[in-house]
C-alpha cells in the first residue's frame, strides 16, 4: 500500500512539445496537440519512483485504485498508472463513508476498474480542456493586449474568466449609476401606550421600466412636502394581519456553504475559511474532510453521529443542544442520511474529538458544531405582522417578524426577530378598525444607490449555480452539475484573480481592477462571449458530467474543445481595435476648440483622429527629418485608468458637459488605500482633485480582526519588563501599547512609530507580532512559542504578495519585530534567518568570480608569452626551409592545443557563472515575502522569465 500526495504529474508545457513554442507569437497559435503527455511535478520524482518499484514487484498481480471516489481521485490514479506504462488489471475501492466497517466492506467488494471508464474520461477531458483553452487564450490575448505600461500576461481560462466577468458586469452597473434624489415620508403613531413607525407608500404604483421607482419613494419634493403638511397631527385608523411561517433546519455544511456562512458572519475570505477548516481537519482532527461538495451523510454513519453528539455534550457550549437531541431523538434523518447524495466525501461535521482551539480554528469549529447539532432540531416558527395605517386617505406600512419557537435557531444563537411590533390582538389572524394617534409625520431625503458589489459569499453562490444567485438550497442542488469550478478550487480561483491583478478586495466585497474590466470588455466586443459567460461555462461542466455518466463520448467532447480553442485564437487574431470601438454614440465635444465629437477608444476617450494622420512614430521621425509636412494630432485624452479606477462612459459625459465629474469613489493610493475624488477639466488637461472624507469602497486589502483574550501571554522577550498583550490585530508589549494609547493611535500604526514620537517620561518597547502575517493567522499558542524560543516551528499556508502559498518559520529580530526563515533544499539553516541555500549561492557566485578573474589573468600571460616567442622566432630566422616548416607545424599544433584549452576554460567559466546565477536566483526565490531584497537586475531577469512563462489556469493547481 502506497500513496500519492495530490497530483504528482502535470501536462507538458508547449515548449516541451516543440521548441518553437518558447516564443509567444501569434503565428504559432493555436496549439492543438493531438496527444497530451505528462511530466513529474517539481519535487515528486522520489514518490513516483517508489510507486514504480512497487508496481514492478514480481508478487504484484494488479492495482487497486483507493484514491478519492470522484473525478480528481480517478485522474490522480490513472495518470500515474499510464505514466509508468502499467498494464496490470485495475480494481476500484469506492468509499462514500469512512467508518471502519465501511472501509472493510469496501475492500471486500472491490469493483472492476473498467466500470469507471466514464469517470476517467471526464477527468482527462477536464484536464485537457483547461490546458487547451487556458494556454491558447492566454497567449493570444497577451500578444494582442500587452503594452509598455501593462506588460504582464493577460491570463484567461475556462473557470477564471467567467468568474471575473460576473464581477465586471456588476462593477459597470455601479460605475454607470447616476444618483437621483428622492424623499420618504415616515409617520410615528401611538396606540395603547406603545409607539410604532410606518412608511408612506402608494398602493396604486405598479412596476414599470424605471427600476428605481418604488412604491415608498417620492421623486417630487414639492408633492412630498405638501403631503407632510396635510397629514401632520391627523388621527389614523390601523389594520393588521398575522401570518405564521415555518423555517426548517438548514442542511449540514459542504465547503461552499461553510465559506459563504463564514463570510456572512465573520467577513472571512473563502481562502481564510478553507485554511481554518483544513487545520481543524489535519492538525486538530476535530472535523471531517473539508473539501467536499456534499451536504449529506451516508446511512451507515448514524451510530457515529450518536457518539459525536455524546462527546459534544461534554462541552458546556453544546450541552443543552446535545441533551435535547438525546432526550427527544433526531429529526430530519431522511434528509441528512442519504447515500444517493454522497459523492467522494460527505458533509463537514465534527469528529467528536474536542481540542483546546484558539482564533480562527475555534470560531470555525464552533460554527460547524452548532450547524451539525441544529440540523437535527425542529423548525423555527415565525409570525409575520403586516400593519397598514390610513391617515386622511394616505397609507403607511409597518412590518415585523416575530420568532415564536426558536427551534434550531436557538442552537445557532439566533433568537432575534425583525422589527418591533406588538400585535393589537395576540392570537387573532387579522384585526381592523383600530384608532391610533399620529404623533408626527417627517420627511427624509435620500438618493438612489447603485447595486452593491458582490461579496465573496454571493460570488461563491454564483459560481456554484452557474451565474444564477439562488437562495433556495433545493433549487441550488439542481444546478450543482452546472456550477463553475469545484468547492476545492473556488477559493483558489478568487485568490488567483487577485494575485493576477484582475480583482481586489473592497471591505467584504470584491471589485475588478481596470485590467479586469478591460479584459472582459474586449472579450465581449470581439464576440468571444462564451469565454466570459458563466452560463456557457456551466454548460461545459454539465457536458463533463454527461461524459462521466457515459452519455457523451470523450472524443465528441474534446472535438468541441479543439474547435472552441481554435475559435478563440481566430477571434483574437482577427480583430482590429478601430472596429472594436467604432465612431458611434459620441460622449460630448472635445475641448480642443474644433467642435469635434469625443468617442471611446480601447485605452482612452478622445476626439476623432484627423484623416491622414500618421501614428507610426518611426515614420513620423523620418518625415520630420525629411522636412515633410505632417498632420498634428489632438492631445486631449481621458484615460480609462485613473489612479487605479476605471473611468466609464457616463463619467466622461459628465466631465465634458460640466467641466467636472460628480464625487467618485474607488481611486487607489500606491499603498492600496481608496479615496474619493473629482475629475476636473482645465483646457485639455484632466486633473484629479482629492476630496476630504473616507471612501465608500472601504479598504482594498483585507485586515482581519480577532476576538481578544485579555490574559497576558507572558513577559515581553524584548524588554523583559512589560507583558505581551493580545489586541484585535496584534500581540504587543504593554509598554508599547501604553504609548500608542497615550498618542491615541491604533496598534497597527506601531510599525511607523519612532523614538522621537514617544511622549517624554514614557518608556517604549517595540515588540510587536501581527496576528495576521501574509494572510495567515498566528495563533496564541504559536505566539507564545515564538516568545519562548525566539522563533516558531515551520508554519504553512502563508501567502506571498503574488498570491503564492509558502511555508516559513518566524524568528525574532533584535528590533523586536519578526523576520522569516526558510528551509533550505539541503544543508543547515542559518541563524540569522538566511537559508543555507543563500549562503551556497553567495559562495558559488564568489567562486565563479574568482575563477573568471583567474582565467582572464592566465589568458593575459599566455598572450604575452606567445608574443615573446613570436618575436624571438623572427629574430632567429631559421636557415633551412625544412626547419621552418617543422617549427610552423609545431606552432600550429601548440596553437590548436591552446585554443582547445582556452575553449574548455571559457565553457567552464560560463557554466560556473550559470551555476552561480542559478543559485543566486534560487536563494532569492526562496524568500517570497522578503520584499525588495533582490537587486534591480535580478528582479528584471525574474520578471522577464515570468512574462515568458505566465501561469495557465488548471484546477489541479490553480496558483
231 neighbors 394 (Cβ within 8 angstroms): yes
Average pLDDT over residues 535-554: 87
The neighbouring-strand residues paired with 384 are 243, 401
Arithmetic mean of pLDDT over the chain = 82
Q: Which positions are catalytic?
A: 289
**Residue 853 binned pLDDT confidence (cut-offs 50, 70, 90):** low
Q: Which three cell numbers, joined as nine digits, stand for 899?
A: 585554443
Other Cβ atoms within 10 Å of 129 Cβ, number: 21
387 neighbors 399 (Cβ within 8 angstroms): yes
Q: Which three cell numbers, joined as nine digits, stand for 820?
A: 522569516
- Taking the C-alpha atoms of residue 17 and residue 340, their distance in angstroms, rounded to an integer, is 43
pLDDT tens sequence across 343-376: 778 999 999 888 888 888 999 999 999 999 999 9
120 neighbors 75 (Cβ within 8 angstroms): yes
Going by their DSSP bridges, the two strands 641-642 and 795-799 should be labelled as: unpaired
Residue environment code for 479-490, b if the CB has 16+ CB neighbours within 10 A, otherwise e: bbbbbbbbbbbb
- Taking the C-alpha atoms of residue 554 and residue 118, their distance in angstroms, rounded to an integer, is 8
Average pLDDT over residues 228-251: 94
- Taking the C-alpha atoms of residue 959 and residue 951, their distance in angstroms, rounded to an integer, is 8
Is 300 buried (19+), middle (13-18) or exposed (0-12) by CB count in 10 A? middle
Alpha carbon 133 to chain centroid distance?
20
Place of cell 494556454: 135
**DSSP per-residue string spanning 525-586:** HTT-GGGG-HHHHHHHHHHHHHHHTTSS-HHHHHHHHHHHHHHHHHHHHH--HHHHS-S-S-
Q: Which three cell numbers, joined as nine digits, stand for 368?
A: 460547524
- Taking the C-alpha atoms of residue 562 and residue 30, their distance in angstroms, rounded to an integer, is 9
Place of cell 500587452: 146
Q: Which three cell numbers, joined as nine digits, stand for 732?
A: 504587543
Torsion sign over Cα 247, 249, 255, 258: positive
pLDDT tens sequence across 883-931: 444 444 455 454 455 544 554 544 455 444 444 444 433 333 333 333 3
- Taking the C-alpha atoms of residue 15 and residue 160, their distance in angstroms, rounded to an integer, is 23
791 neighbors 810 (Cβ within 8 angstroms): yes
Q: Shortest CA distance to 668 belongs to which of 638, 695, 649, 650? A: 695
Going by their DSSP bridges, the two strands 63-65 and 90-92 should be labelled as: parallel
**Residue 801 binned pLDDT confidence (cut-offs 50, 70, 90):** low
Q: How far is residue 25 from each of residues 28, 139, 153, 562, 886, measured CA to CA in Å? A: 6, 8, 13, 19, 57
931: DSSP letter:
-
Helix/strand/coil for 650: helix
Q: Shortest CA distance to 14 belongs to which of 942, 959, 952? A: 952
**Residue 759 binned pLDDT confidence (cut-offs 50, 70, 90):** confident
User: Residue 862 pLDDT more than 60?
Assistant: no
470 neighbors 479 (Cβ within 8 angstroms): yes
User: Residue 243 pLDDT more than 80?
Assistant: yes
Q: Which three cell numbers, joined as nine digits, stand for 583?
A: 465612431
Helix/strand/coil for 400: strand
* CA angle, 37 then 43 then 44, to 5°: 55
H or E stretch including 702?
none
Residue 867, phi-psi category: left (phi > 0), alpha (psi -120 to 50), beta (remainder)? alpha
Alpha carbon 824 to chain centroid distance?
28
- Taking the C-alpha atoms of residue 490 and residue 270, their distance in angstroms, rounded to an integer, is 8
Average pLDDT over residues 725-750: 81
134 neighbors 141 (Cβ within 8 angstroms): no
**Residue 89 binned pLDDT confidence (cut-offs 50, 70, 90):** very high
The whole-number pLDDT of residue 873 equals: 45
* CA angle, 742 then 745 then 749, to 5°: 130
Torsion sign over Cα 784, 788, 791, 792: negative
Other Cβ atoms within 10 Å of 896 Cβ, number: 10
User: Residue 751 pLDDT more than 80?
Assistant: no
pLDDT tens sequence across 591-621: 987 788 999 998 899 998 887 777 777 777 8
pLDDT tens sequence across 784-798: 999 999 999 998 878
Average pLDDT over residues 175-200: 93
Q: Which three cell numbers, joined as nine digits, stand for 25?
A: 507569437
Average pLDDT over residues 733-758: 75
For residues 654 and 890, which has the higher predicted lDDT (pLDDT)?
654
- Taking the C-alpha atoms of residue 805 and residue 419, their distance in angstroms, rounded to an integer, is 45
579 neighbors 641 (Cβ within 8 angstroms): no
Q: Could you tell me where the DSSP H helices lie in 465-505?
A: 473-478, 487-499
Average pLDDT over residues 31-42: 94
Torsion sign over Cα 929, 933, 936, 937: negative
Average pLDDT over residues 89-113: 88
Helix/strand/coil for 455: strand
User: Residue 957 pLDDT more than 50?
Assistant: no
pLDDT tens sequence across 52-69: 999 999 999 999 999 988
- Taking the C-alpha atoms of residue 277 and residue 260, their distance in angstroms, rounded to an integer, is 13
Question: What whole-number percentage of the chain has pLDDT above 70?
Answer: 80
286 neighbors 350 (Cβ within 8 angstroms): yes
Torsion sign over Cα 481, 487, 488, 491: positive
pLDDT tens sequence across 658-700: 999 988 888 887 656 778 899 999 888 899 998 875 554 444 3
Helix/strand/coil for 510: strand
H or E stretch including 595?
none
The whole-number pLDDT of residue 420 equals: 84
- Taking the C-alpha atoms of residue 257 and residue 460, their distance in angstroms, rounded to an integer, is 8
Place of cell 494622420: 613
**DSSP per-residue string spanning 604-622:** EEEEPPPTT----HHHHHH
Over 164-225, what HEC string results? HHHHHHHHHHHHHCCCCEEEEEEEEEEECCEEEEEEEECCCCCCCCCCCCCCCCECCHHHHH
953 neighbors 496 (Cβ within 8 angstroms): yes
Amino acid at each position: 500500500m502506497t500513496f500519492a500526495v495530490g497530483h504528482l504529474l502535470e501536462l507538458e508545457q508547449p515548449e516541451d512539445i516543440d521548441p518553437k513554442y518558447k516564443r509567444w507569437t501569434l503565428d504559432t497559435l493555436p496549439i492543438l496537440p493531438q496527444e497530451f503527455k505528462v511530466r513529474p511535478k517539481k519535487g515528486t520524482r522520489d514518490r513516483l519512483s517508489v510507486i514504480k518499484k512497487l508496481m514492478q514487484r514480481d508478487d504484484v498481480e494488479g492495482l487497486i485504485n483507493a484514491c478519492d471516489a470522484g473525478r480528481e481521485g480517478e485522474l490522480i490514479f490513472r495518470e500515474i498508472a499510464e505514466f509508468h506504462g502499467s498494464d496490470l488489471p485495475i480494481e476500484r475501492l469506492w468509499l462514500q463513508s469512512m467508518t471502519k466497517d465501511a472501509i472493510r466492506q469496501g475492500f471486500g467488494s472491490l469493483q472492476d476498474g473498467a466500470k469507471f471508464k466514464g469517470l476517467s474520461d471526464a477527468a482527462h477531458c477536464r484536464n485537457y480542456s483547461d490546458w487547451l483553452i487556458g494556454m491558447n487564450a492566454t497567449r493570444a490575448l497577451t500578444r494582442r493586449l500587452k503594452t509598455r505600461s501593462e506588460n504582464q500576461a493577460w491570463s484567461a481560462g475556462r473557470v477564471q474568466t467567467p468568474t471575473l466577468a460576473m464581477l465586471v458586469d456588476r462593477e459597470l452597473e455601479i460605475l454607470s449609476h447616476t444618483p437621483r434624489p428622492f424623499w420618504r415620508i415616515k409617520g410615528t403613531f401611538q396606540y395603547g401606550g406603545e409607539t410604532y413607525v410606518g412608511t408612506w407608500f402608494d398602493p396604486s404604483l405598479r412596476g414599470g421600466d424605471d427600476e428605481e421607482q418604488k412604491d415608498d419613494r417620492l421623486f417630487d419634493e414639492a408633492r412630498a412636502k405638501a403631503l407632510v403638511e396635510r397629514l401632520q397631527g391627523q388621527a389614523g385608523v390601523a389594520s393588521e394581519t398575522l401570518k405564521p411561517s415555518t423555517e426548517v433546519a438548514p442542511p449540514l455544511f459542504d465547503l461552499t456553504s461553510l465559506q459563504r456562512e463564514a463570510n456572512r458572519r465573520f467577513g472571512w475570505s473563502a481562502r481564510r475559511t478553507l485554511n481554518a477548516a483544513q487545520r481543524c481537519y489535519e492538525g486538530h482532527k476535530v472535523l471531517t474532510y473539508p473539501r467536499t461538495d456534499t451536504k449529506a451523510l451516508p446511512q451507515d454513519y448514524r451510530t457515529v453521529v450518536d457518539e459525536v453528539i455524546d462527546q459534544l455534550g461534554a462541552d458546556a457550549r453544546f450541552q443543552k443542544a446535545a441533551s435535547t437531541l438525546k432526550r427527544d431523538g433526531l429529526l430530519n434523518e431522511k434528509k441528512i442520511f442519504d447515500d444517493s447524495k454522497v459523492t467522494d466525501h460527505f458533509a463537514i461535521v465534527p469528529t467528536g474529538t474536542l481540542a483546546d482551539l484558539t482564533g480562527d480554528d475555534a470560531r470555525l469549529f464552533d460554527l460547524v458544531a452548532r450547524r451539525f447539532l441544529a440540523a437535527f432540531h425542529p423548525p423555527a416558527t415565525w409570525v409575520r405582522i403586516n400593519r397598514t395605517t390610513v391617515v386622511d386617505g394616505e397609507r403607511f406600512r409597518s412590518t415585523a417578524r416575530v420568532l415564536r419557537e426558536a427551534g434550531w435557531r436557538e442552537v445557532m444563537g439566533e433568537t432575534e426577530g425583525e422589527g418591533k411590533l406588538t400585535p393589537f390582538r395576540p392570537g387573532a389572524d387579522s384585526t381592523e378598525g383600530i384608532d391610533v394617534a399620529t404623533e408626527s409625520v417627517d420627511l427624509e431625503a435620500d438618493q438612489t444607490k447603485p447595486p452593491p458589489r458582490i461579496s465573496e459569499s454571493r460570488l461563491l453562490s454564483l459560481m456554484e449555480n452557474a451565474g444564477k444567485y439562488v437562495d433556495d438550497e433545493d433549487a441550488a442542488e439542481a444546478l450543482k452539475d452546472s456550477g463553475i469550478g469545484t468547492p476545492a478550487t473556488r477559493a483558489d480561483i478568487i485568490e488567483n484573480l487577485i494575485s493576477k491583478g484582475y480583482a481586489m478586495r473592497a471591505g467584504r466585497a470584491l471589485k475588478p481592477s481596470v485590467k479586469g474590466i478591460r479584459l472582459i470588455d474586449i472579450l465581449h466586443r470581439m464576440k468571444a462571449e462564451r469565454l466570459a459567460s458563466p452560463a456557457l461555462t456551466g454548460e461545459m461542466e454539465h457536458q463533463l458530467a454527461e461524459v462521466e455518466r457515459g452519455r457523451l463520448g470523450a472524443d465528441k467532447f474534446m472535438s468541441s474543445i479543439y474547435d472552441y480553442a481554435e475559435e478563440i485564437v481566430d477571434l483574437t487574431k482577427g480583430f482590429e481595435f478601430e472596429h472594436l470601438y467604432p465612431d458611434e454614440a459620441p460622449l460630448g465635444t472635445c475641448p480642443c476648440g474644433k467642435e469635434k465629437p469625443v468617442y471611446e477608444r480601447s485605452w482612452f476617450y478622445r476626439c476623432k483622429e484627423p484623416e491622414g494622420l500618421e501614428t507610426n512614430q518611426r515614420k513620423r521621425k523620418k518625415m520630420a527629418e525629411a522636412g515633410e509636412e505632417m498632420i498634428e494630432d489632438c492631445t486631449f485624452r481621458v484615460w480609462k485608468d485613473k489612479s487605479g479606477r476605471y473611468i466609464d462612459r457616463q463619467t466622461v459625459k459628465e466631465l465634458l458637459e460640466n467641466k467636472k465629474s460628480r464625487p467618485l469613489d474607488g481611486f487607489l493610493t500606491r499603498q492600496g488605500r481608496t479615496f474619493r475624488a473629482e475629475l476636473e477639466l482645465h483646457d485639455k488637461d484632466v486633473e484629479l482633485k482629492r476630496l476630504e472624507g473616507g471612501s465608500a469602497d472601504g479598504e482594498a486589502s483585507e485586515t482581519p480582526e480577532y476576538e481578544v483574550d485579555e490574559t497576558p501571554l507572558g513577559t515581553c522577550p524584548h524588554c523583559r519588563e512589560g507583558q505581551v498583550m493580545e489586541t484585535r490585530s496584534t500581540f504587543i508589549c504593554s509598554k508599547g501599547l501604553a504609548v500608542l494609547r497615550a498618542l491615541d493611535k491604533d496598534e497597527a500604526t506601531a510599525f511607523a512609530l519612532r523614538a522621537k514620537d514617544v511622549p517624554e517620561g514614557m518608556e517604549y518597547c517595540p515588540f510587536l507580532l501581527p496576528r495576521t502575517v501574509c494572510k495567515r493567522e498566528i495563533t496564541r499558542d504559536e505566539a507564545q512559542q515564538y516568545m519562548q524560543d525566539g522563533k516558531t516551528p515551520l508554519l504553512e499556508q502563508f501567502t506571498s504578495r503574488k498570491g503564492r502559498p509558502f511555508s516559513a518559520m518566524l524568528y525574532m529580530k533584535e528590533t523586536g519585530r519578526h523576520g522569516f526563515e526558510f528551509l533550505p533544499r539541503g544543508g543547515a539553516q542559518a541563524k540569522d534567518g538566511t537559508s543555507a541555500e543563500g549562503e551556497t549561492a553567495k559562495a558559488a557566485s564568489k567562486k565563479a568570480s574568482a575563477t573568471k578573474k583567474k582565467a582572464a589573468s592566465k589568458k593575459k600571460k599566455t598572450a604575452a608569452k606567445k608574443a615573446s616567442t613570436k618575436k624571438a622566432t623572427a629574430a632567429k630566422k631559421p636557415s633551412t626551409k625544412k626547419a621552418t616548416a617543422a617549427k610552423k607545424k609545431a606552432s600550429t599544433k601548440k596553437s590548436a592545443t591552446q585554443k582547445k584549452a582556452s575553449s574548455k576554460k571559457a565553457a567552464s567559466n560560463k557554466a560556473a557563472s550559470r551555476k552561480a546565477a542559478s543559485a543566486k536566483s534560487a536563494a532569492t526565490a526562496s524568500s517570497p515575502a522578503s520584499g525588495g531584497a533582490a537587486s534591480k537586475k535580478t528582479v528584471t531577469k525574474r520578471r522577464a522569465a515570468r512574462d515568458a512563462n505566465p501561469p495557465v489556469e488548471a484546477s489541479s493547481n490553480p496558483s
